[in-house]
Chains A and B, each alone.
Chain A
């Protein structure tokens, strides 16, 4: 979830009201105030327009009736152009830029701009892959600017925080940002570069600005903002978000046109800020269908205007104009949710669900409850474990060379494989209790994942029932008795057949067979395994395929 840091005073100045916790409900935000600063966690990952103080304040202004309807973009046409190189069409084809004039850049504003730039590029822009944002000192640029593809070894400039001039390839190797974001360009032979009419470099998108034009400091008065990326719509939305934010901060916005040598979804000449002129229509009854409330036409219009839409209703059809900085309106319900939020969820009231349905547990759940009841009756303490484990515990310490389901992107070695049996969990529990009173009788009824060639997912989730006893003097016969107690409680007749298993002692291990089907193992744990886990007392155990047991006991 995106979290932004804002200056409370600026939020209050922009929203025109004192801000309290509850005010942020309408942006799905959570506010944490610390002195002058506040952290706002924005719940909506699909509304990048809210990831800045101006966006939050804009919603509040509407909600509290200080503005009405669709916020207007008062951009004058600057007549300036960005010329796009056709060679970029397979690399990073889209760019949108605008000029923000007459704004006094101070530390505070600069921080807010950098924060928004960062949130948009990292989060909405998928770590700059989809979009990235550049901010420049407008007064140092000679238009028109060129967005082109170049051989990375043939062009050099001084990137931000670097005194020396280096070529693009060197930037990817040496500059911290090059190292971080170079992955986006590695597959390409040519890299994007952004230069002005004098061939001075603005930036090397999406990696780094130049140390001259691309350096914005407090005191600057005119900015040029640009967004590049692979998704044209996202590029335009991000640029719009920036333009609206700067306009809200008092800047005069001037539009810039991107000239493409090919026809894009939005034409060959695309102006920025871009007006999508998006509309959505829906039947008025939809509001009642979704929210369960009836609104008069004027109430509905009023609510929509408070939520920054322009709206009109004719013959029960509602037509809504959507702001050009919003990314999230796909369906009428997206607008209707805004109506609900404005109305207040707490004001909607509640309705009981009238339909009658029969509740029931899965038979497997009922069987698991029965199994646990019997095990408790036999004097065993139930334990529960994490299902994520590691090969060391599941196989190596158990003297097995088995195949477990491993994790590709592990966070820590301890949780790098999904357990395929439960006995290692039982042993791990016992080793934690070597100074606790004996005998220790414990069991776990839990899920494991095994490979299954017949499954579409190559794997199968299986319930296992595993029990273990540890004591100074304990042997196979005792565990066989408990096993008998369990299986005869299920009315199952079974046979035991001697087997060899690396984790158990030879001659003290048997497989458990019901109806000709092997359903588990019972035996004395091998002393080498005990050593591997650091256990000092003998352990006897059984482990059963509880799903198989369930089907067999159901048959009887």
Chain B
């Protein structure tokens, strides 16, 4: 950085700094009346301030007296050096700037900027802007039609963004989110849904079993007993499955096979609200070979509405609303289906331009034998949907393995849709 003397600095260099002038005067007369000194020295207040600070003079009543005879001014040396374009200590620079005796050599900046006058300039520098020289240069025209260089910006994973979009939609429809554990007991995953322990209905839920430990420590005794009774003997209204329920098997730890595993936990909770709307998005696991249509783990979104007076027509209305909101299609139909925990059961089908009718969701009214042991008296309409397929349809993805793609090129170039 270059510095130069201010007007004041130049004057002091020529005539001496005020405090030095005071000292010189006192060297001759030893003592001066303050009034007299004021007349002799131009900037007396500055002079007395600094001379006192440096311990050169003293004020005794009306008099100013010299108290030190060997006076050496750093400021004076500094001014000399700057005048001769020599570098000085940073502390001294600070002091001189503070005393407004030197300043940055602005002319340098200007001279530099002025070199560009009349010329064609690429980068619009701070110098050009600050000095106003930009007015006198020609700002070069660029080829603005060249496509910008690729940037690798931070981005959401497309499927992850979609899942968050689904959540927001569900909230918009008045649903409250629920979550549950990945390692789950057979009890919550199946038994509490009135799926009998030794029944082909469980075949469609071929589960991954945990190796160690195999069993949960405990289950809620009251709910366990109520569920056991419903399986074995039924209820007042139902004959039940009529078999011997295995309590230990209920404790068997598995990986959650479907999102609906979370529903009985919500239904049996003290905090269940009626009317209430609940949903969950969860990672599920099935014993399947991994290929273009099967992943070892996948996402499902399901939930339920509980309220007095709900019936199959409400469920059909809800499913059609979902089709419109999530798959953006009116071309849907609701057909009979089978799930061990719903009766009646239904499935939502939507017409895809390429693949024809596809199942979007399974649904139904939770069975009486399921709800009663969980302490729920009002009808519950429920659904569960594989989100993978809906997302693949909307993005034109053919291979399900691309949902969890590790291809950074693909991810970096992916379109932001959700």
Contacts and interface: CB of A to CB of B under 8 A. Distances in A.
Interface in A128-179: 130
B311 interface: yes
B381 to A, nearest CB: 8
Given A364-B179, A460-B181, A384 B369 contact: no
B201 interface: yes
Contact of A46 (B185, B340, B365, B406): B340
B317 interface: yes
A425 B9 CA distance: 68
A409 B255 CA distance: 11
A458 B255 CA distance: 13
Nearest to B347: A43
Interface in B167-210: 167-168, 170-179, 181-185, 198-201, 203-204, 208-210
A382 B160 contact: yes
Contacts of B154: 375-381, 441
B290 A123 contact: no
B176 A405 contact: no
Interface of B: 152-157, 159-160, 164, 167-168, 170-179, 181-185, 198-201, 203-204, 208-214, 216-219, 234, 237-243, 253, 255, 273, 275-277, 283, 285, 287-290, 295-297, 305, 307, 309-314, 316-318, 320, 333-338, 340, 343-346, 365, 367-369, 379, 403-404, 406-409, 411-412
Give me the 7 closest cross-chain CB pairs, A-B, nearest first. Answer: A355-B275, A292-B313, A350-B317, A359-B171, A292-B311, A376-B154, A337-B344
B183 A418 contact: yes
A126 B198 contact: yes
A372 B367 contact: no
Contact of A383 (B152, B157, B313): B157
Interface residues of A, number: 93
A187 interface: no
A266 interface: no
Interface in A303-356: 330-334, 336-337, 340-341, 345-346, 348-353, 355-356
Given A376-B156, A418-B255, 10 more contacts: A43-B336, A289-B311, A293-B313, A331-B343, A340-B344, A359-B277, A418-B183, A428-B406, A457-B184, A458-B213
A46 B290 contact: no
A233 B240 CA distance: 13
B314 A331 contact: no
Interface in A47-100: none
A124 interface: yes
B336 A28 contact: yes
B343 A353 contact: no
Given A290-B311, A290-B344, A340-B312, A359 B175 contact: yes
Nearest to A436: B408
B291 to A, nearest CB: 11
B204 A45 contact: yes
A331 B200 contact: no
Contacts of B305: 353
Contact of B338 (A28, A357, A360, A433): A28
Contacts of B170: 359
A201 to B, nearest CB: 30
A376 B168 CA distance: 19
A214 B276 CA distance: 59
Interface stretch (A216-224, A385-393, A504-512, A519-527): A385-393
Contacts of B285: 387-388
A432 interface: yes
Nearest to A336: B344
Contacts of A386: 295-297, 404
A371 to B, nearest CB: 12
Contacts of A293: 313
A405 B214 CA distance: 11
Query: Quick one: which of B313, B316, B336, B404 has the most chain A CB within 10 A?
Result: B336
B338 A346 contact: no
Contacts of A553: none
Contacts of A377: 154
Query: Quick one: which of B173, B234, B305, B408 has the most chain A CB within 10 A?
Result: B408
B313 A291 contact: yes
A457 B253 contact: yes
B177 A385 contact: no
Contacts of A436: 408-409
Contact of B183 (A123, A332, A461): A461
Given A126-B200, A350-B316, A457-B253, A359 B176 contact: yes
A497 to B, nearest CB: 29
A353 B200 contact: no
B174 A359 contact: yes
A111 interface: no
7 contacts: A330-B239, A351-B314, A357-B276, A406-B212, A418-B182, A418-B255, A441-B152
A241 interface: no
B333 A346 contact: yes
A330 B311 contact: no
A432 B201 contact: no
Nearest to A2: B200
Contacts of A299: none
A380 B412 CA distance: 10
